[in-house]
Structure 1
Amino acid sequence: MLPSIDIEELAEADCLELLRAEPVGRLVFTERALPAIRPVNFVLDGHDVVVRSAPGSWADRLGGSIVAFEVDRIDPATHTGWSVVVLGKVATVTDVDTLVRLSDPRHRPWAPGRHDRYLRIRPGTITGRRLALGRN
């Protein structure tokens, strides 16, 4: 018999801590009136999610768009894990001092090629849930 699972709503501070622990998330947006999802490397800058992309890519069309950004970790053996969702508006980062600060080599995208376009997602909401073993 499987143990019971509890669903816990996470506080924003817990969500931010979990986001900082993962290098990859899923960016959800609309492309040609259809839903699109891209796995991307990211860095957290305060409460903002920053994604680097290649010039001339799908990301060029996102400025001013409302997007979702999701990160999770799931254990299929125990049926436990967590998910954090950030909903917010995308802005292109152009301030030179900010670009220098965000260009930390430890946070380079995994995909090959040039990734010198920086997109900032300013959260409107940050929500999260955890599936944990029940306390029977």
Structure 2
Amino acid sequence: MQLDSPGLQVLTREERLDLLSAAPIGRIVFTDHALPAVQPVNFHLNGQAIVIRTAIGSKLAAATRRAVVAFEADEIDPELHTGWSVTAVGQARAVTDPAEIDLLAALPLTIWAPGSRDHYIVVEAEHISGCLITATHSSGSATPQPARG
């Protein structure tokens, strides 16, 4: 088991992708008018690509065109003090090819927000990091808790 500097268990790439693929909601971090912005989104992990649907004229659609963005998903249990967090960084792109749009439309990507969501954004996850937060007992030793996902 590998630990990072704060003592959190570092997840393998496979574990990171498995957890990310099971998360229903994530947060995309992008720049909006030279300021950082964070927006919760539902998404689908397609291989190592994060697929998001949004409205064609949305702030998210405009801000993510050919931009480097961050994406984060997690699951935390505040009572047990356990959970996980996965962060991906990569370039976002608007999907304009009709054949690719047809493929993405067939993915199990359920839209929660009202209104039309016919614009696809794909984030190619170039760097993925993640950690597992485990319960700590009074002795100070960590007891691994199974990650849900």
TM-score (norm 1): 0.90
Identity score, percent: 41
Select 1:113's aligned residue among 109, 112, 115: 115
> Which one-letter code corresponds to 1:103 in the other structure?
A
SS of corresponding position for 2:90: strand
Between the aligned partners of 1:13 and 1:39, the Cα distance in structure 2 is 24
Question: Structure 2 length normalisation: TM-score?
Answer: 0.82
CA RMSD of aligned residues (A): 1.6
Q: What letter is aligned with 1:36?
A: A
Structure 1 residue runs of 5 or longer lacking an equivalent are 1-5
Aligned length: 131
Runs of 4+ that moved beyond 6 A: none
CA contact (8 A) 2:72 2:88 kept: yes
Distance in structure 2 (CA, Å) of the matches to 1:11 and 1:105: 26
Aligned to 1:35: 36
Match of 1:71 among 70, 73, 88: 73
- Structure 1 window deviating more from structure 2 (90-99 vs 14-23): it is 90-99
Partner of residue 86 from structure 1, selected from 63, 85, 88:
88
TM-superposed CA distance for 1:48, in Å, is 0.5
Find the aligned partners of 2:133 and 2:120 in 1 and give their Cα distance: 33
Cα distance in 2, alignment partners of residues 13 and 108 from structure 1: 24
2:20 maps to 1:7: no
Whichever residue aligns with residue 24 of structure 1, its letter is I
Deviations 1:56-108 (A, max 9, x none): 11122311101000000000001110000000001111222221122137412
What is residue 103 of structure 2 aligned with on the other side?
101
Partner SS, residue 14 of structure 1: helix
Q: Between Structure 1 and Structure 2, which shows a larger proportion of strand residues?
A: 1
**Are 1:57 and 2:66 matched, yes or no?**
no
Q: Does 1:45 align with 2:85?
A: no
Write the distance in 2 (CA, Å) between the matches of 1:94 and 1:12: 30
